[in-house]
Amino acid sequence: MGIVDWIFVVGYFTIIGIIGYQTSKRIQTVKDYNVAGEKVTWTILFASLAASVLGGGASTGMAGNVYKDGYVFMFAFCAYGIASVLIGYFIAPRLKTYKGAQTVGDIMERHYGKKAKLVTGILSVGLCTGIIGGQALALGTMLNVILDIPPIVGILIGMGSVILYTSFGGVMAVIQTDVVQFVLLGVILPLSLIIGLFAVGGTETLIEKIPDVHFTLLGNWELATFIGLFVTFLLGEALIPPYTQRVFSSKDPETARKGYIISGFFSFGFFFITGSLGLIAYVLFPGIQTDNALPTIVKELLPVGVTGLAVAALLAVIMSTASSFLNATTVSFMRDIYPFLRRTKISDKQELFMGRVLTVVVGVASLIFAINVPSIIAALEYSYYLWAPTIVCPLVMGIMWQIRSAAAGICSIIVGAVITLVWTFALHEPFGLSGVVPGFIANAIAFFIALSLTKNNEAKKTANKVDKELIENDVI
């Protein structure tokens, strides 16, 4: 990279540092830190959601897997966008009606009791830490290929910046940096695709040099493999902590609805661009490591100036996701887990300080995870095992149909987790089917069986107990 490129990269890190510092001075309460005072408009929500969703998996991971397997991976990954649109239409507006809610655990508590809140908090922290690890690995890969920085050093530099501005500025800083990052990726990645197409000789030449199977729906995959991965992506990030946190940060239900739906449709175009860049790398750079496909294009094809902007854009999209999950991890721990550990109530200022310290601790834990996973997509898949087969079904049933049953909630979480673990690690995923699929099915079956066996007075008892606790804590 030339001097101009370095100026753009350093300038990007400087801008997000300034945003984090300025935002930290405006954070006065835990509510400001956790949900940005519930003041976010739909345009900002859309940009923030889009930037958060389109992280290392959707950029570096997408290009690498399309490089290896063709568009079949992109078709499976589109499940993310479908989930966002469906959540926007049916669930996000309802989520915003939960007064005082700041985490998924808050919602689960109102339907299934305090134990469900604690379990949800633990699963939220595990899920988010794993996904942060995936983003950290993507940062290390990007900086290693483009700047020749050792991967571990790259991880430390990238995640160090994320930890710094997230710990000081909370979700407000995360959302503001998301907007900057969204603008960068919205301009640079389409430009990179155009430059790449010129380099291979145009669209027709690209198609001629790519195996026909790379353009088919299933590629070389078995149908069960495709279905398993599609369901994993459809449910794996459905209503996960950072995205529900965006809903709680929005001004009203309509804001939440618009932000989710538009970001979902936007993601389809983004997936096509990053996937197509993977095909360009397949033609121009055969034999490279799959996760290096996108960084190699940036390093080898883009002209001076554009390279620096592209590096900043790619770092931005990964750091955006990492910061979102980092903040959500802290909020989930402080809201859903810490109340079960403390003996005395702490002040708002003390909770704010503890949240910032915890952000640093979680960031360090994610670095350790990143160093020990084989690939970006593997890091994401491992994390999804904690969420889709445990939380999604009872959460959606509670939100959509106002079901309240502690037995149904806890039973379904346990059964879903056990079946997923057995299918994945004991049976080693028969038929190539992801453990998320049988885990989710078992989770849903257990939920409805427990619900049918639960007497009406047990459901009423759960509702009355939860309502009493919420009233005592000035939530309702």
List the domain boundaries for the chain: 3-386
pLDDT value of position 385: 84
pTM: 0.84
- What is the rounded average pLDDT for all residues in the chain? 84
pLDDT value of position 87: 95
pLDDT value of position 475: 45
154-200 tens-digit pLDDT:
888 888 888 887 777 666 667 777 777 777 777 888 888 999 999 99
Burial classification of residue 405, based on how many CB atoms lie within 10 Å of its CB (0-12 exposed, 13-18 middle, 19 or more buried): buried
Alpha-carbon 108 to chain mean position: 20
Query: Do residues 51 and 185 touch, judged by C-beta distance below 8 A?
Result: yes
- 109 pLDDT exceeds 90? yes
207-217 tens-digit pLDDT:
999 999 999 99
Alpha-carbon 54 to chain mean position: 8
Please name the amino acid found at residue 87. I
Give the highest mean pLDDT range of 7-21, 29-43, 169-183, 250-264.
Answer: 250-264
Mean of the pLDDT values across residues 421-443?
91
- 426 pLDDT exceeds 70? yes
Please name the amino acid found at residue 51. A
pLDDT value of position 31: 65
Mean of the pLDDT values across residues 124-135?
85
CA distances 312 to 298, 317, 379, Å, are 11, 9, 23
Residues in the chain: 476
CB under 8 Å to 48, separation ≥6 — which residues? 40, 174, 175, 178, 179, 182, 246, 259, 324
- 462 pLDDT exceeds 90? no
Both tokens assigned to 436: 């998320």
pLDDT value of position 23: 72
CB under 8 Å to 279, separation ≥6 — which residues? 66, 67, 70, 71, 206, 210, 214
Q: Is the dihedral of CA 92, 98, 101, 107 positive or negative?
A: negative
φ, ψ for residue 40, nearest 5 deg: -75, 130
Mean of the pLDDT values across residues 65-92?
94
Q: Of 27-41, 64-78, 125-139, 146-160, which range is least confident?
A: 27-41
Distance CA 2, CA 444 (A): 55
- 474 pLDDT exceeds 50? no
- 389 pLDDT exceeds 80? yes
pLDDT value of position 476: 42
327-348 tens-digit pLDDT:
889 889 989 999 888 777 777 7
- 44 pLDDT exceeds 70? yes
Query: What class is the 3-386 domain?
Result: mainly alpha
- Closest Cα partner for 309 from 1, 9, 2? 9
CB under 8 Å to 167, separation ≥6 — which residues? 356, 357, 359, 360, 363
Mean of the pLDDT values across residues 57-67?
87
Burial classification of residue 474, based on how many CB atoms lie within 10 Å of its CB (0-12 exposed, 13-18 middle, 19 or more buried): exposed
Query: Do residues 392 and 235 touch, judged by C-beta distance below 8 A?
Result: yes
Distance CA 138, CA 208 (A): 30
Buried/exposed code over 407-422 (b: 16+ C-beta within 10 A; e: otherwise): bbbbbbbebbbbbbee
